[in-house]
Copies of this chain bind each other. A is one copy, B any other.
Amino acid sequence: MDKSSQIYALFDALYTLEDIREVYRTSLPVLNPEEGLEVHDKLQKLKNILESLESGRGSQKTYIVNSLEPRIREEAYINIQPIQAGGRLTPEARKALISYADGYSVCDQCLSPFRLDKIRKPPLDQFHQELAKFLGMDEARVVPGARRGFQVVVNSLVERGDVVILSSLAHYTEFLAIEQAGGVAREVPSENNVVTGEGYRQTIEEVKKETGSLPVLLMVDHFDYMYGNEHDIRGIGEVASEYGIPVLLNGAYSVGILPVNAKELGVDFVVGSGHKSMASAAPSGVVATTEEWAERVFRTTGISGDVTGRTFGIKEVEMLGCTLMGVTVMTMMASFPHVKDRVLAWDEEVKKSNYFVNQFERVSGSKVLSETPRAHTLSRVDTSGSFDRVAKTHKRRGYFFSDELKKRGIVGPFAGATRTWKLNVYGLTWDQIKWVSNAFLEIAQQYNLDVG
């Protein structure tokens, strides 16, 4: 049940190719005989590694440098970690990562007007346009993570002391963006862990009454990080439009895994996370908006040098110029064709999620805390009445559960957690879903818990 040694061989082969690549990087336009020999020797080494891979034997672990170990989590195990599922790279993204590894790798053909989203080769300009369209918006920019997208919008709209309303299930990075801009955060209470347009209306009215002003921005999570519950975006959009307050949609758990059309949802800004849901390297993300708002949040620089008289062209203030100049944007771009397809298969992902939670709840005392039937693949569960009962008397305590999952090739749940915890089954194949579902039942039976 352990693929590790094969994965180590695979990494060793990749590393050896990188060593060969280095010979080409440090040579003159033609390799000298010594360099030719070095390549030859490394190719011999590589062939031996491939033989051990083919035989199934595999290799010992090869370190990256000093004691830095490779990460084999996604290859050797089935990973149901709650925040990692949608950020697993596609093979295309991994190939882009290899090919565009170096620092400023996308800037070879950076021509006037010298801005990341205007670069034509690789086709970043086209990608930016497609990204806006994909989100049902007019303009999109890539940013170093969703949080930086919040920052762009909040810094553009919020002055010190201004109120921003957000969900009581909002991600902490929304709070930090408000704090960084000097704004005041007000939460909307949830009902059954869902926030609604009416909830937002009530909080808007309270703020109006208390401060005499309307909040300057509403933020809402499409699906929240805690339960993966779907929130009433359309309702909130309608209320916002009544009051004339712009809405920012946090799509960290939706953009890239399910269809999101921001204009149709009635929001003014949408933010997505590359490393959370767009199969991209960290830190990456997207912020997109309407033509109306683009001028403000993507405003170009107006500052100048008083001595030199320098101005800075069409660089955008909140972007601080360019954002993702290398592998990060390349992984977003390389994964994008797959991402566009996969959002269309969201229903199947939800089916798998529901299959899983149904099996999961067959263990007596195991409960799903998220709304059911599930409309998402991220779920919050409670095993206080099942696996935690075992943990109470097990010598490994809560770790027994992680141990048992790992024995079955499954990782991801917070190590030692047996009360409330989260998991995400996004992107697993049906075979993997059934395997994982079965593992929970098996562990329950092994420890004499009732299985219905």
Interface of A toward B, CB cutoff 8 Å = 1-3, 6-7, 10-11, 13-15, 17-22, 24-31, 39-40, 43, 46-47, 50, 53-54, 64-66, 68-71, 73-78, 81, 83-84, 86-89, 91-105, 107-108, 122-123, 144-145, 147-148, 150-151, 155, 168, 170, 172-173, 175-180, 185-189, 274-276, 279-283, 301-303, 305-308, 310, 312, 315, 317-318, 320-321, 323-328, 333-334, 337-338, 408-409, 429, 431-432, 435
In angstroms, Cα B34 to Cα A236, docked, is 49
Residue of B nearest to A180 (CB): B317
Q: Would A317 and B179 count as touching, CB distance under 8 A?
A: yes
Q: Smallest CB–CB gap between A27 and chain B, Å?
A: 8
Given contacts A14-B95, A68-B96, 13 further A-B contacts (CB under 8 A): A3-B31, A29-B409, A39-B54, A64-B99, A68-B123, A68-B334, A70-B100, A71-B100, A172-B315, A176-B312, A176-B321, A179-B303, A283-B326
Q: Would B91 and A101 count as touching, CB distance under 8 A?
A: no
Residues of B within 8 A of A280 (CB): 103
Q: Smallest CB–CB gap between A284 and chain B, Å?
A: 8
- The interface centre, meaning the residue of A69, A180, A317, A320 with most chain B CB atoms within 10 A of its CB, is A320
Residue of B nearest to A177 (CB): B320
Instruction: Tell which of B187, B282, B328 touches A308, judged by Cβ atoms closer than 8 Å.
Output: B187
Residues of B within 8 A of A13 (CB): 17
Q: Smallest CB–CB gap between A422 and chain B, Å?
A: 13
Q: Would B282 and A176 count as touching, CB distance under 8 A?
A: no
Residues of B within 8 A of A177 (CB): 320
In angstroms, Cα B347 to Cα A350, docked, is 60
Q: Give 12 A-B contacts (CB < 8 Å), ordered by A residue.
A: A7-B21, A10-B21, A28-B431, A29-B408, A43-B54, A46-B50, A65-B92, A66-B337, A105-B282, A150-B320, A180-B318, A283-B324
Q: Would B20 and A10 count as touching, CB distance under 8 A?
A: yes
Q: Would A53 and B64 count as touching, CB distance under 8 A?
A: no
Given contacts A168-B308, A307-B187, A308-B187, contact A102 B75 (CB under 8 A): no
In angstroms, Cα B144 to Cα A323, docked, is 8
In angstroms, Cα B64 to Cα A101, docked, is 13
In angstroms, Cα B170 to Cα A447, docked, is 66
Residues of B within 8 A of A338 (CB): 65
Residues of B within 8 A of A10 (CB): 17, 20-21, 24
Q: Smallest CB–CB gap between A370 and chain B, Å?
A: 18
In angstroms, Cα B321 to Cα A281, docked, is 18
Q: Smallest CB–CB gap between A241 and chain B, Å?
A: 24
Q: Smallest CB–CB gap between A185 and chain B, Å?
A: 6
Q: Would A188 and B307 count as touching, CB distance under 8 A?
A: yes
In angstroms, Cα B98 to Cα A151, docked, is 30
Q: Would A91 and B312 count as touching, CB distance under 8 A?
A: no
Q: Would B89 and A325 count as touching, CB distance under 8 A?
A: no
Residues of B within 8 A of A310 (CB): 172, 175
Residues of B within 8 A of A279 (CB): 103
In angstroms, Cα B172 to Cα A20, docked, is 38
Q: Would B65 and A88 count as touching, CB distance under 8 A?
A: no
Residues of B within 8 A of A409 (CB): 28-29
Residues of B within 8 A of A108 (CB): 71, 73, 81
Q: Would A17 and B19 count as touching, CB distance under 8 A?
A: no
Given contacts A185-B306, A318-B180, contact A103 B324 (CB under 8 A): no
Residues of B within 8 A of A176 (CB): 301, 303, 312, 315, 317, 320-321
Instruction: Tell which of B1, B21, B74, B302 touches A25, judged by Cβ atoms closer than 8 Å.
Output: B74
Residue of B nearest to A108 (CB): B73
In angstroms, Cα B431 to Cα A103, docked, is 24
Q: Smallest CB–CB gap between A95 and chain B, Å?
A: 5
Residues of B within 8 A of A147 (CB): 320-321
Q: Smallest CB–CB gap between A52 and chain B, Å?
A: 11
